[in-house]
A and B are shown apart, each in its own frame.
Chain A
């Protein structure tokens, strides 16, 4: 049981690494203008997070909108 769980996690992270590497070179600048001229150090630092959260970054990469914060005031703001 534990073996299966660990296997699934390993597979998840493996897929994550395959997505994270192209993401830091191509996807990050699409989702965030601050990443267009991001340094190599920056690219390296975001690889682990991108590999861990790959379903989310894939969604952002494929989507259009830059996320906006959702707070009570932003929701209640007059249109």
Chain B
């Protein structure tokens, strides 16, 4: 990016997204509290809020984990993926409210430091004394790190691969939260329905990841191919729809072979923003457009149109009898390459 940073790059879609997201969250909290009070009139406001915010955060975490693979399997999920960052920050805020109320209710006011109390108040090795709160705390630390680095400034300054590695810690947070729930609230709420919900969530998260992983495995055939002299035959031009791409693996990574305006251009498949799959995007208004958040690149140069400054590697390409031949040696990011014309 080279435009000036703002707190949030608002647009009409993001405003609608956030409005729906927070309306949904508030509605959930209200319904959960009302039903909780009806079922257990002795429940205090603190208990209701702790449970309502905790379950809302867990529910959102499942949504966040599912929407990535779901969008790979079915493009109709892409609009949900578009602003997943705000879903993630909202989930962290719910977790934080949950933790603050827990600390104020159970750990504050004694001589012991409240944070230390989280770690020592249940630190045994039996099911009943297992330190489930410590797991919740550690998960919240991970979610904080993710929320704190969710601005595009961090993407640009950590670089997408480092940023993504950091954000992969969400799976560790998920594992910690499963432990937190199983050894925490599920010890007192023994109705099998709660455990069943958690299992369904886990099966959904793992199932979707396995499915989308299997589908992408086919794309990675030839991934280990060495960078060699000579062109690689990737497909026939008729195999690619207009304004779309075919993704193939070359030189250890995926490339996107775009067909547009009677030309073929080849670029590295990873968007510089969050490494979104450019080859799953479209050619719109003269640019390759990332399906995740809409960053754009000129197909001949791999550069974002000014004033933006993102650049991705390009590949030399030629046509022989309708077959698309690509030089597997990448050009430095932003290098102009003449498209193959048909």
Q: Chain A: residues with CB nearer than 8 A to chain B?
A: 2-3, 6, 28, 31-39, 41-42, 44-46, 48-49, 52-53, 56-57, 60, 67-74, 76-79
Chain B residue nearest to A3 in the complex (CB): B116
Interface size class on chain B is: 35 or more
Whether the Cβ atoms of A60 and B157 lie closer than 8 Å is yes
A residues within 8 A CB of B148? 48-49, 52
B111 to chain A, nearest CB (A): 13
Out of A31, A37, A46, A78, which one reaches B151, CB within 8 Å? A46
Whether the Cβ atoms of A48 and B313 lie closer than 8 Å is no
Out of A2, A39, A73, which one reaches B120, CB within 8 Å? A2
Q: Count CB-based A-B contacts (< 8 Å).
A: 113
CA distance A45 to B85 in the complex (A): 14
Q: Chain B: residues with CB nearer than 8 A to chain A?
A: 1-8, 113, 115-116, 119-120, 144-145, 147-149, 151, 153-154, 156-161, 227, 251-253, 255, 268, 270, 272, 313, 329-333
CA distance A26 to B1 in the complex (A): 19
Out of B151, B272, B330, which one reaches A69, CB within 8 Å? B272
Out of A32, A34, A38, A74, which one reaches B333, CB within 8 Å? A74
Whether the Cβ atoms of B331 and A42 lie closer than 8 Å is no
Task: Given A35-B5, A36-B4, A71-B270, decide whether A42 and B151 contact each other with a Cβ distance below 8 A.
Answer: yes
